[in-house]
Amino acid sequence: MGKRYFGTDGIRGTVGKDPMTADFAIRLASAVAQVLVPAGGTVLIGKDTRLSGYMFESALEAGFTAAGANVLLLGPLPTPGIATLTQELGADLGVVISASHNPYFDNGIKFFDGNGSKLTDAIELKIEQHLEEPAITLESKALGKAKRIDDARIRYQEFCAATFPADLDLDGLTIVFDGSNGAGYKVGPRALADLGAEVITIGCSPNGRNINDRCGSTHPELLCTTVSAVGADAGVALDGDGDRLVMTDENGELIDGDQLLYVLATSRHDEGTLKGPVVGTVMSNLGLEHALRERNIAFRRAKVGDRYVLESLKQEGGTLGGETSGHMIVLDRTTTGDGLVCALQVLAIMKQTGKPLSELAAGMPKYPQTMLNVRTEQRLDPSASPAIMAAVDEVEDELADTGRVVLRASGTEPVIRVMVEGEDPNQVDELAQRLADVVAANATGTEG
């Protein structure tokens, strides 16, 4: 039986539409409590800066306390910070209210177990079975309590700082930090400044509606121009919930997740601390795979989604993985993707080597890659369409051995992602558009 509500990263949707309603959040908390939280257990709840976060925080608090769980409210905090504090405070469950890189009118709910790890498919299925039942309310003496934790940001900031080499600091570096008007808007600049950097902030004035709005890792244009304009050494951009990272070099050129993964992997390989293969996804640039191969570094591809990268790392005994979008996982530092922690690792390499980020990333050529999102009226499996798959075969024949085609359905929205990669950028653009047109035509039931 497939999952109805959980996608690749929790449950997500437009606020006010099923399932992102207050009523559903109460039932969800009740279901999760019955599956994962023992009687009298503890649940942490954190959120990003969306206006709807207040509503879902209150609804989840009601559902969990009615089911007998004690709730600690963390307020705005990056997703990886909630995973970290779940472990540090010995909680049974961590809850994140966020729709990550989506606009403010969306929201989502995702979970970490007591080890700071995301839930398995099997656990999510168990939770969904309980969602078919009414929310429970125990008798008064069995109800849980709720209180706020005022030092959550400081605790997480101290954790981030502890992942930076003790014999280094960021003195002498000027860094532009873009918090995407999201969960990392306070902790990011303060962590960098406490390590000695001069910090210039953008995207750090949230108002509940401007999260991810022309800022952050999904819209890094302002970061690029600001770094170049002020002569900074690097730029750092998180997404709305702080688990994604992209950077810019000293020239204002974007350094994406694949390039950052290359920088981290080659540095650790050179110092002899890299364990197991590096794990990317089916969307990782072919240039990353080839560049790592030249350095005799093993590389594996997982399905898209940081949870699948994490699963592959654990299976393969690796510690370093990530996605082009900037979900970076450094397992010997954290249990989940953490944009701020990964930024600190890259900045440490810059300080250790004395090299600018442009030079560190130069060893990875980026193959031209075009990705188009085709929105559909409902979830669609492209492999089930003969017309779409015939078009894929034609494109692959034209690319021969010089490129790749990836076609996949988004796990969080009704979108088909069409990616074509190859040596010739003009050919890549033309083939991607041709394939996207076929997908769009067949997704709406018309002839392509």
The alpha-helical segments, DSSP class H, found in 149-197 are: 152-162, 187-194
Contact 338, 243 (CB under 8 A): yes
Do 243 and 185 meet the contact criterion of CB atoms below 8 Å apart?
A: no
Six token digits for residue 232: 């900074």
Q: Where are the alpha helices (DSSP H) in 317-407?
A: 339-353, 357-361, 386-399
Report the alpha-carbon distance of residue 28 to residue 325 in Å, rounded: 29
**Does the annotation count 100 as an active-site position?**
yes
Tokens read off for 203: 């995207």
Catalytically annotated residue among 30, 52, 100, 325 = 100
Cα separation, 241 vs 179, whole angstroms: 9
DSSP string, 59-97: HHHHHHHHTT-EEEEEEE--HHHHHHHHHHTT-SEEEEE
Yes or no: say if 248 and 189 are a contact pair by the CB < 8 Å rule.
no
Distance CA 257, CA 212 (A): 18
CA distance 299 to 184: 31
- Residue of 43, 50, 14, 13 lying closest to 29 (CA atoms): 43
- The H or E element containing residue 404 is strand 404-409
Q: Are 396 and 423 in contact (CB under 8 A)?
A: no
Cβ atoms of 96 and 111 within 8 Å: the answer is yes
Distance CA 280, CA 142 (A): 46
Token pair 């770094």 in the structure block, residue? 227
Q: What is the DSSP string of 18-53?
A: TTSSHHHHHHHHHHHHHHH--TT-EEEEEE-S-TTH
Q: Cα–Cα distance between 304 and 158 in angstroms, integer?
A: 31
User: What residues are annotated to the active site?
Assistant: 100
